[in-house]
Structure 1
Amino acid sequence: MKRYILALFIITGSLVACSKIVPGFLSNTLGYTGKEIICKRGLVYQASDKINYDGSTPPVTFALLNLRDSATGKAAPVEFTTLYEVMQFKPGLSFNIATDTTVDILNAKRQLNKIPPYNFNTTSGQIVFNRGTKNLPVGMYNFDIEATNANGTKFYPSAGFIHVMDPTDDDMFTLSSTFANAFDDITAATTAMKTPKISFTKQSDDGSSVILKITDKNGVPFNPLKGEVIKRGDRPYFPTYAKFHPIVFTDTAMVCNFELAPFPLSTYVDNTGYSWGYLQYYRIPSSYVAIDGMPSTTGYSANPVFAFKINLEGTYVVEVKLTDAVHK
């Protein structure tokens, strides 16, 4: 009996010694947290989440395979693999709000690169889209993923889908701040006004201009050409964020050619190190405005302040409406 047990132990040990140990671990359920990856056509930068390793042993290398039309199952259109000319900053260079004051200076930092409308990161699985996506057809496109690590290679069918759609107004325009106060011309005291109403309208895909209007509660514009809209001391305003072209004043608006999106490209930090974000400060002198609730015997100017961002080239109208003031 003892000899039998010893022989069995030796045989079992031999089998264990001969069995192959598989290195690492590659999960059957790794993938994106959300399978739908949104791509808004033409925006400067968009990126998906990274692939969740789900405990897989790093490093893992990914490949995106079989991009196809979700409706027909046919291969995705050639626009996904076409190389488009996209203006980008040269490696190691970026926009400097203080020194990049002309188109020539700006262009010295940029170059046209021929690139596909998206890039797939083989290490993270992240998909990054660029402005070349303006050429992609709207639709839904499925894809598969292949993952490889020390454990081997696994195939993950229908791992995600790219949903290509047109950008909405909220994608193109971001409002981060708006407020206003009434300024007593005699005492310099300020009183809070109602929050201005900001509206945004895209006029066309052409150019790169913002037509900024400041209006009273009835929609009557103040006239920048006649000094009805002025800057406030050394605080930031339209030209602070894009000095490439002079601001054009009309009888209803201020027009800024911002040259490239997003606008502003950078927050404004003054020489003391204080960051103003994207804020713009203006004043409507008391001779041109009457503010609800303010004594008519004393002059009160209106001080609107706002911060917004344009995320796509084109021509836009931005209206800042003072909801408790009228044009005199």
Structure 2
Amino acid sequence: MKKILLISSISVLALTGILFGCKKVEKGFISDYMYYSPNPLIATQGNVTNSNALELDGTTGPVKVKLLAIRNADTGQPAPEMTKEFTIKQFLGQITSADSTVALVNKKIVLKPALPLEISEIGGRISLSQATAFVSTGNYVIDVEVSNIKGTRQILNACRIQLLPKTYFALDAGPFVTTSDPDAETGFSDRVNLPVTVTYDNKGPNKIRFLFLDKNGVAFDPSAGQVITRGDRGNFSQMNPYFPVVRTTTALEWEFIDLPNGFPIKDGNNGTGNYYRIPARFTVENRNANPVFFGFKALSAGSYTVTIQIPGITKKP
């Protein structure tokens, strides 16, 4: 009898093992806690801005992401203009050193339709285009759907987008000036903060002017050699090979091309650095003045005046 019970117990265990062994193994994982970073995503009208890919929180890849809705975050109302096509300037291809004339550059610029906002299907990256110039500033929020081998999740209020008013120029922080010995690359002083201001006229011709002032607001005269470049250091002419510099009695001037992502798009010998010099013979202090600033960019058609006022230096009468 005991032998029969033992055989029965073994049979039950074997059957149980077979049943559990046949249970379907589920594939993949999809998180309930996927998110965007940064959030909010801050952009300016008319400029290209991209988010990082959606943070998957361990979700099995690949994932597909679809935009479900975009709303005005303050009113809760739909914002259909963010997914409406507008015509904007776009590049057909990369601008290279072979594109050495205005005509060659213009051949790579076309008018094409674009959406202000798109979501990349793979990875979910948020892309804001130059077409945001045609929609209202403010706060927006998106809902997205994420799917993978495991299933589908809807992420409501997935990312807040703050669209700021259009900016017409860019200028990096930290302009500085040094002084140095006359007619030499010696005796440099410590760096001092350099005040730089930019004024913009949207009705003017496409022109950029660099105006150099002494501490009293008196302009140095580039046409008389009072503003020069510094050897092989970077300067704006290196970034703008399409138009020659014009030296007037008050400024250095260049024409420029109105490009989709702003001008210039070429770097100089020091990246976006502008290195200039006021020779010592034109200063009361008998010191070279060496103003330096980075990252100036014209983001729209029109006229720009970049005013550089050099502290501690007085122009000779």
TM-score, structure 2 as length reference: 0.84
Question: Conserved in 2, the CA contact under 8 Å of 1:67 and 1:144?
Answer: yes
Task: Count the aligned residue pairs.
Answer: 308
Structure 2 equivalent of residue 203 of structure 1? 200
Matched, 1:180 2:178: yes
- What is the deviation of 1:36? 1.3
Question: Conserved in 1, the CA contact under 8 Å of 2:167 and 2:299?
Answer: no
Letter in 1 for 2:296: K
From 15, 25, 29, the equivalent of 1:25 is 29
From 44, 47, 50, the equivalent of 1:47 is 50
Letter in 1 for 2:56: Y
Question: Conserved in 2, the CA contact under 8 Å of 1:178 and 1:307?
Answer: no
SS at structure 1 position matched to 2:181: strand
Bigger mean CA deviation after superposition, 317-326 or 220-229: 220-229
Structure 1 equivalent of residue 265 of structure 2? 265
Paired with 1:13 and 1:26, the residues of 2 have a C-alpha distance of 29
Letter in 1 for 2:63: V
Alignment map for 1:45-194 (pairs within 5 Å)? 45-78=48-81, 80-91=82-93, 93-96=94-97, 99-167=98-166, 172-175=170-173, 178-185=176-183, 189-192=186-189, 194=191
Is the alpha carbon distance of 1:193 and 1:57 closer, same or farther for their aligned partners in structure 2, counting shifts above 3 Å?
closer
Structure 2 equivalent of residue 276 of structure 1? 270
Bigger mean CA deviation after superposition, 221-230 or 309-318: 309-318
Bigger mean CA deviation after superposition, 103-112 or 193-202: 193-202
State the Cα deviation string for residues 260-289 of structure 1 (Å, max 9, x = none): 343331222xxxxxx422233323233421
Paired with 2:254 and 2:130, the residues of 1 have a C-alpha distance of 22
- What is the deviation of 1:168? 6.0
Question: Conserved in 1, the CA contact under 8 Å of 2:175 and 2:196?
Answer: no
Structure 2 equivalent of residue 313 of structure 1? 300
Matched, 1:322 2:310: yes
Paired with 1:155 and 1:240, the residues of 2 have a C-alpha distance of 50
Q: Equivalent pairs: percent with the same residue?
A: 28
- Gaps of at least 5 residues in structure 1 are 269-274, 292-298
- What is the deviation of 1:63? 0.7
Question: Conserved in 2, the CA contact under 8 Å of 1:173 and 1:200?
Answer: no
SS at structure 2 position matched to 1:201: strand
Question: Conserved in 2, the CA contact under 8 Å of 1:241 and 1:264?
Answer: yes
Paired with 1:188 and 1:47, the residues of 2 have a C-alpha distance of 43
Paired with 2:281 and 2:154, the residues of 1 have a C-alpha distance of 72
Paired with 2:304 and 2:22, the residues of 1 have a C-alpha distance of 72
Paired with 1:112 and 1:225, the residues of 2 have a C-alpha distance of 39
Letter in 2 for 1:157: L
SS at structure 2 position matched to 1:326: coil
- Gaps of at least 5 residues in structure 2 are none
Paired with 1:34 and 1:5, the residues of 2 have a C-alpha distance of 60
Bigger mean CA deviation after superposition, 316-325 or 59-68: 316-325
SS at structure 2 position matched to 1:264: coil
The CA RMSD over aligned residues, in Å, is 2.7
Structure 2 equivalent of residue 294 of structure 1? none
Bigger mean CA deviation after superposition, 232-241 or 66-75: 232-241
Letter in 2 for 1:201: V
Paired with 2:77 and 2:32, the residues of 1 have a C-alpha distance of 26
Letter in 2 for 1:210: I
SS at structure 1 position matched to 2:13: helix
Letter in 2 for 1:22: E
State the Cα deviation string for residues 230-251 of structure 1 (Å, max 9, x = none): 3344544222111223334333
SS at structure 2 position matched to 1:191: coil
Letter in 1 for 2:129: N
- What is the deviation of 1:196? 5.1
Paired with 2:8 and 2:153, the residues of 1 have a C-alpha distance of 44
- What is the deviation of 1:327? 0.9
- What is the deviation of 1:212? 1.1
Paired with 2:189 and 2:218, the residues of 1 have a C-alpha distance of 21
Question: Conserved in 2, the CA contact under 8 Å of 1:279 and 1:306?
Answer: yes
Hey, which of these two has a bigger chunk of strand by percent?
Answer: 1
Question: Conserved in 2, the CA contact under 8 Å of 1:194 and 1:324?
Answer: no
State the Cα deviation string for residues 14-52 of structure 1 (Å, max 9, x = none): 543454332111111112134312121112x21112111
